[in-house]
Amino acid sequence: MKSRSPLVAVLALTGLCFAHGAQAQEYIVTTSVEGSFNEVKDNIKNAIVGRGLNIANELHASDMLNRTGPDLGFPDAIYTHAETVEFCSASISHKLVQANLHNVVLCPFGISIYELVAEPQTIYLSYRRPLADSDSAEAAQEVEDLIQGIIQDASW
């Protein structure tokens, strides 16, 4: 078995890191609006419920990060507010799991709403693009369309 040059290995790993970084950018979709965090969060929740969907959970990420950060060596808060609203669409979820029974991992769907300490009154809305196999592509696109529609409805 031939040994490969360390330079080749480094170049290969560097290429993987750059490819992973590019893929990560495509995986997370972010937009921003000017306004009040609570107003934008309420608009997101109203847009979800207005579509007849169930809010499954609200995750208070900034509370946890701000509470635990100093003990873990991260004394500076990044977020004034950061929450994720998780919700479900029964019809789209059924389509996802009919296409691939392992797609249950894609449920619930989520939209993160956050305000940075460094950018008061700029509210970010982010979501993870559902990554799915080719059999699930149509249902995954429905998830993304739903999330984009909710964000659009909530951000005027």
CB 27 within 8 A of CB 127: no
Global pTM value: 0.82
In a domain, 134, yes or no: yes
Which domain range does residue 32 map to?
28-154
State pLDDT tens for residues 78-93.
Answer: 999 999 999 999 999 9
The values of phi and psi at residue 84, to 5°, are: -120, 130
Residue 131 DSSP symbol:
P
Give the whole-angstrom CA distance, residue 109 versus residue 89: 8
In a domain, 136, yes or no: yes
Beta partners for residue 55, in sequence order: 87
In a domain, 10, yes or no: no
Give the whole-angstrom CA distance, residue 69 versus residue 55: 28
46: domain CATH number is: 3.30.310.70
pLDDT of 21: 45
Rounded to the nearest angstrom, the gap between the alpha carbon of residue 3 and the centroid of all alpha carbons in its chain is: 42
